[in-house]
Amino acid sequence: MTAKAAAARAWEICNLAPIVPVLVVDDVAHARPLAEALVAGGLPALEVTLRTEAALDVIAAMADVPGGVVGAGTLVTPDDVVAAKAAGAQFGVSPGATDALIAACEAEELPLLPGAATATEAMALLARGYDMLKFFPAEASGGAPALKAIGAPLPQISFCPTGGVSMANAMSYLSLPNVVCAGGSWVAPKDKVQAGDWAGIEELAREAAALGG
């Protein structure tokens, strides 16, 4: 997969909904009902972070949910990429970007949303053909004002801000012309997941989906 094709597919996925749920799932038994609730609520693109031992099994379980597009987050090494693709991930998300990670995603034909926090990082990725990026960590890097400032000289780059994004501040990002969507974990809070409150999660997803107008 070329960088141009990867970026185009990442852009398509980011356009599916205004919010991409960022999911940390400890129990694979929660995977399918969680994905079904989020998809039913209008959030089809799902990022499962590789931060738990169950993550790859969770991706495999979610990959079978109708209407969902499951991706792997926290990709750091080429081995992460290979494992995520084998588990059924349809896209990848990384906190930053290295040559090795990008090469692995292109070799595995896994569309990548690479992370950038500065204009220099964004320009380096643009030079490689990536114009749909993750802005991370969003709030710690200056929030919406910083992303707006980066967008002024680099209007050809689109972003998905993640890290500190909430229902309360999401619109400050989504209102920017260089923001396609935002990543957030609030739509799947740990207490509701542990309690199996799928109806409650579906409602949170509906509220988040409505941010797109």
- Residue-number span of the structural domain to which 51 is assigned: 3-212
DSSP letter string, 157-212: -EEEEBSS--TTTHHHHHTSTTBS-EEESTTS-HHHHHHT-HHHHHHHHHHHHGGG
Segment 166-204, tens digit of pLDDT: 999 999 999 999 999 999 999 999 999 999 999 999 999
Q: Place 34 in a pLDDT band, splitting at 50, 70 and 90.
A: very high
Percent share of the chain, pLDDT over 90:
96
**Using CA atoms, how far apart are residues 19 and 96, in angstroms rounded to an integer?**
20
List C-alpha distances in Å: 191 to 78, 153, 197, 199, 203. Answer: 33, 42, 8, 13, 15
pLDDT of residue 80: 98
**Using CA atoms, how far apart are residues 34 and 72, in angstroms rounded to an integer?**
15
- For the chain, the domain total comes to 1
pLDDT of residue 212: 86
pLDDT of 213 > 80? The answer is no
Tell me, yes or no, if 139 is annotated catalytic. no
Q: What angle do CA 41, 161, 106 make, to 5 degrees?
A: 95
Locate 197 and state its tokens: 């409150």
pTM assigned to the model:
0.97
Write down the residue that tokens 């990536």 correspond to.
130
pLDDT of residue 203: 98
Segment 60-86, tens digit of pLDDT: 999 999 999 999 999 999 999 999 999
Dihedral sign from CA coordinates of 39, 44, 50, 51: negative
Q: Which listed residue (47, 106, 108, 202) is catalytic?
A: 47
The enclosing domain of 120 has a CATH number of 3.20.20.70
pLDDT of residue 1: 86
Q: Place 89 in a pLDDT band, splitting at 50, 70 and 90.
A: very high
Quick one: how far is CA 161 from the chain centroid? 9
Tell me, yes or no, if 47 is annotated catalytic. yes
**Within 13 Å, how many C-alpha atoms sit on residue 45's CB side?**
26
Q: Which listed residue (36, 85, 106, 134) is catalytic?
A: 134
The mean pLDDT of the chain is 97
pLDDT of 104 > 90? The answer is yes
